[in-house]
Amino acid sequence: MIAIEKLVMKKWMEYSSNLNFVGGQITKDGVLLLIESSLKEIDFFQRPIPKNNWTIRMIKGETIETINLKNVPLIPSEVDVFSDGSLLIVQSRCRKDGHYIERNARRYNSNGELIEAFTLGDGISQVQIDETNTIWVSYFDEGIFGNFGWEQPIGSDGLIAYTMNGSKLWSARDYEICDCYGLNVVSSNEVYFYYYDDLNLVQLKEMKESIRYRVEGNDSFQQFIIDQAGLIGQIDLYSLKRFRIRNRTITPKEKLQLTDTNGKRINGPVFMRGKFLYAYGKDGVYTRSL
């Protein structure tokens, strides 16, 4: 019999939407961002990209702020917020056709007005902004080795830190990353990334390695957080697993099941960053204090 750890979540707030969920992110301060659209089907490879409207929900405390982005010429898969309140949306796929390169990152003010657009490359896995407004971007294999018209991909180093205007500050070129599986930007002093094929989880402090862990087993995780009992990793869309940390080694243990305070299982998207863990269920948003 497979051991299952039940993790009790408290309902944060009632929430439902008549729009379709596209993606989401937790900011460095614990604000939950949701990307929503009226579109029922999304094709990230469709070219030319049709202009569409997108809705960003910012859930914080007991309030929900809505930012409407109109006639946007990209499909946002990632979203985060700068310290001045401006919004960054990023499309994971970025086409290069000869000298033409898509600008797949767009920055908006709180009124939904475009401030600037720039390019962060193809094959983007995750995007997170720290308290210094540094943009951390992780890339999967196609963004590292090249596809979609890229012979010399921007993301060839697997993990890159950019200024808020998209200029390169730092890269993980010394790690020979084939696929950056997971990223967790707590702050500029605490950036974690988990990568293949070394299967190491590295902590950076001020862009320098401070701790390295060896990850055992066959489970990869994109989202993860570290709590008092070890590490919680999301191994597929709705599955979580507990990992033990001992002697700089991370070992898989039992599966995790999220439940509400009545013991009912919570089914829906899960979001993890820093010490924040949220779940978006059918009847609202749930949280867990770690």
pLDDT in tens, 19-56: 999 999 999 999 999 999 999 889 888 889 999 999 99
Q: Give residue 86's Cα distance to chain centre.
A: 18
Output the pLDDT for position 1: 52
Identity of the residue numbered 96: K
Per-residue pLDDT for 220 more than 90? no
**Mean pLDDT across the chain, nearest whole number?**
94
C-alpha Rg value of the chain to the nearest Å = 19
Output the pLDDT for position 228: 85
Q: Which two tokens stand for residue 30?
A: 């614990």
Q: What is the DSSP letter of 145?
A: H
Model confidence band, residue 282 (pLDDT cutoffs 50, 70, 90): confident
Model confidence band, residue 218 (pLDDT cutoffs 50, 70, 90): confident
Model confidence band, residue 217 (pLDDT cutoffs 50, 70, 90): confident
Cα–Cα distance measured from residue 107 to residue 123, given in angstroms and rounded to the nearest whole number: 19
- Sequence-distant (6+) residues with CB within 8 A of 248 are 211, 212, 213, 214
Q: Which of 258, 287, 265, 257 is nearest to 275 (CA)?
A: 287
Q: What is the DSSP string of 270-287?
A: EEEETTEEEEEETTEEEE
| β-bridge mates for residue 236, sequence order | 239
Mean pLDDT calculated for residue range 188-217: 95
Residue 139 near residue 151, CB atoms below 8 Å = no
Model confidence band, residue 59 (pLDDT cutoffs 50, 70, 90): very high
- Sequence-distant (6+) residues with CB within 8 A of 174 are none
Model confidence band, residue 216 (pLDDT cutoffs 50, 70, 90): very high
Output the pLDDT for position 219: 83
Model confidence band, residue 157 (pLDDT cutoffs 50, 70, 90): very high
Q: What is the DSSP letter of 29?
A: T
Identity of the residue numbered 290: L
Q: Which of 182, 216, 219, 213 is nearest to 200 (CA)?
A: 213
Mean pLDDT calculated for residue range 156-172: 97
Cα–Cα distance measured from residue 148 to residue 2, given in angstroms and rounded to the nearest whole number: 42
Of 131-145, 168-182, 274-288, least confident by mean pLDDT is 274-288
Identity of the residue numbered 153: P
Output the pLDDT for position 2: 61
| % of residues, the chain, pLDDT over 70 | 99
Per-residue pLDDT for 289 more than 80? no
Output the pLDDT for position 258: 93
Per-residue pLDDT for 229 more than 90? no
| % of residues, the chain, pLDDT over 90 | 86
Q: Which two tokens stand for residue 185?
A: 């930007």
Looking only at the bridges linking them, the beta strands covering 159-162 and 135-139 are antiparallel
